[in-house]
Structure 1
Amino acid sequence: MNVQISKNSLVAASKVSGTYVYNLVGEHLGQVEDVMIHKVDGQVAYAIMGFGGLLGIGEKFHPVPWSLLKYDTEQGGYLVPLDKDTLMKAPSFGRSELTEDDTLWRDEIHSYYNVPPYWS
């Protein structure tokens, strides 16, 4: 894969949070709440999207494999090949579950989205 390095090709993780996510037909699905980065190799593994809850209480978080997100400069957000129903039915977790051992949930995520794991 040949990566083009151009002006503004990098983004701070703090700027990714809050970026809107759309499906391929332009429907707004939500926004990135956070990103999960592999501590050792620095690879971004997941975009975390939050849904539900009230004022942060009861909110569930959906880790979406980073490989599914593609930045669209025209939309000013990320595109994913998912519809809202698929995303809403995806495995979701409480914030504390995501900060614990990821081996407890990562296989389920990659299986659900049918994408190869980031570590392969």
Structure 2
Amino acid sequence: MPTNSGHTTAIRASRVIGTSVYNNAGDKIGEIEDVMLDKTADNIMFAVVGFGGFLGIGEKYHAIPWKLLDYDESTGGYVVPFTRDQLEQAPAHGITELTENDGRQVRDMSFSYYKVDTPAQTHY
């Protein structure tokens, strides 16, 4: 079933990983390195976008709330509604920090910075 913007509601993570991410100005800001899942709440926590660095050295990772990424067929990538300056000021993390404390600290920082409500947590 398609979303309001005409995209499908289901997509394989392997198809998303490696996809370029652009800002509103059309500048490529990075690519999706991974997708963090919250297996207890059965949802996506955030997209991990690699930003900066060279050949993986010095690269920082941004946790961007999944619902802020909008696929744009003309670029073949995702667009986020932020300027380069906003993205450069966003919380950035090393790869190991993304999963510390079950990823919740990174998720909460990211959702707070981007002014997105944190999803309610389901506990089993």
TM-score, normalization: structure 1? 0.83
Q: Which moved more, 1:70-79 or 1:13-22?
A: 70-79
Structure 1's 75 and 109: CA in aligned 2 closer, same or farther, altered over 3 A? same
Superimposed CA distance per residue, residues 45-69 of structure 1 (whole angstroms, 9 cap, x where no aligned partner): 2111112333323321110011111
Cα separation, 2, equivalents of 1:103 and 1:44? 12
Query: Alignment identity in percent?
Result: 46
Instruction: Give the secondary structure class of the aligned counterpart of 1:100.
Output: helix
Structure 1's 83 and 42: CA in aligned 2 closer, same or farther, altered over 3 A? same
Q: Compute the displacement of 1:14 (Å).
A: 1.3
Q: Name the count of aligned residue pairs.
A: 116
- Displacement over 6 Å in runs of 4+: none
Mark the runs of 5 or more structure 1 residues left unpaired by the alignment.
Answer: none
TM-score, normalization: structure 2? 0.80
Instruction: Look up the match of 1:24.
Output: 24
Instruction: Give the secondary structure class of the aligned counterpart of 2:36.
Output: strand
Instruction: Look up the match of 2:112.
Output: 111
Cα separation, 1, equivalents of 2:106 and 2:95? 13
Structure 1's 21 and 54: CA in aligned 2 closer, same or farther, altered over 3 A? closer
